[in-house]
Amino acid sequence: MSDVEDRHWWFREKRRILARELRRLGPPPGRALDIGAAGGGNSRVLVSHGWRTVVADLSPTAVEIARARGLDAHVADARDLPWAAESFDLVTAFEILEHIEEDGVAAAEMFRVLRPGGTALITVPADMRLWSPHDEAVNHVRRYDRAGLTSVIAGSGLVVDEVWSWNVLLRPLIALYRTRSTGSDIDDPPIAPVNALLGAVVAAERVLPVRSLPGVSLILRAHRP
C-alpha cells in the first residue's frame, strides 16, 4: 500500500483533501498526530504544511517504513495511545475507525490527546449497503452512515463541526464493481489514462455541490471544546 499510495488516484485525492483542510485551519501549525498512518503518505502532507507530526500505527512494518521516510513514527494502538492528555493540536485518523470494534474508545482517545481548541479530521467508508468482499478483505468491522459516525465522535466529547460525503460521482461505478469483486480493490492503480480519468472525476467534487449526496466515504471535522 505504501508503494501504491503515491500513484493511485484515490490516495492522491485524499491527500489533496487533507491539504485543503490544513489550509482552512490556517497558521500557525502546531503538533499533529496521524493515527493509523501506515507508511506515512498523509503524514508527509502534514509535515509539508509545517505541522510537527507524530505517526502512530499498530503495524511494526508500517512504522519501519514511516521511519525510513524520516517520520517520527511509533507503534501504537488507537484505543490506548501512549501520549499524555492534551498533547496535540490536530489529530487525523483516515480510514481507521472502521477497523476497530471499540470505535468509541478510539474516539475517546482522540479527545484525550487533543488540546482544547484542537481539531480532529476523520474519514471512514460510508453506507453498509456498499458492504462487499473488499470490506472483508481489508478487515473492516463496519461502514458508517452520518448519524452513526456523528454519534460515535460526539459521544467522545468532541464537537462535530461538519460531516460530508466524498467519492460521490464514482459511487455507482464502485458499487457495481464491488458486487463482482472477490477481494480488496486497493491494488496497483489502473493503467495511466484510466487512473488519470478517475482522478479527474473525484477532483470535480472540489467544486460541485455533491457533499450532501450519498458517497463511498464520509469525512468529518470536529474540535475539542
Average pLDDT over residues 114-141: 96
Q: What is the pLDDT of residue 189?
A: 84
Over residues 27-39, the pLDDT tens digits come to: 999 999 999 999 9
162 has pLDDT over 90: yes
Q: What is the pLDDT of residue 145?
A: 98
Vertex 139: Cα angle to 22 and 151 (nearest 5): 55
Peptide bond into 225 cis (omega under 30): no
Over residues 2-56, the pLDDT tens digits come to: 778 889 999 999 999 999 999 999 999 999 999 999 999 999 999 999 999 999 9
Mean pLDDT (the chain, rounded): 96
Over residues 70-122, the pLDDT tens digits come to: 999 999 999 999 999 999 999 999 999 999 999 999 999 999 999 999 999 99
182 has pLDDT over 90: no
The number of domains in the chain is 1
Close Cβ partners of 156 (under 8 Å, ≥ 6 residues apart): 104, 107, 108, 110, 111
Structural domain span for residue 170: 4-223
187 has pLDDT over 90: no
188 has pLDDT over 80: no
CB 202 within 8 A of CB 167: yes
186 has pLDDT over 80: no
123 has pLDDT over 90: yes
Q: Please indicate, yes or no, whether the overall pTM of this predicted structure exceeds 0.75.
A: yes
Q: CA of 69: how far to CAs of 65, 74, 91, 103, in Å?
A: 6, 13, 20, 29
152 has pLDDT over 80: yes
Q: What is the pLDDT of residue 66?
A: 96
Q: Residue 69 sits in a domain of what CATH number? A: 3.40.50.150
Q: Give dist(CA 200, CA 116) in Å, integer.
A: 38
Q: What is the pLDDT of residue 93?
A: 98
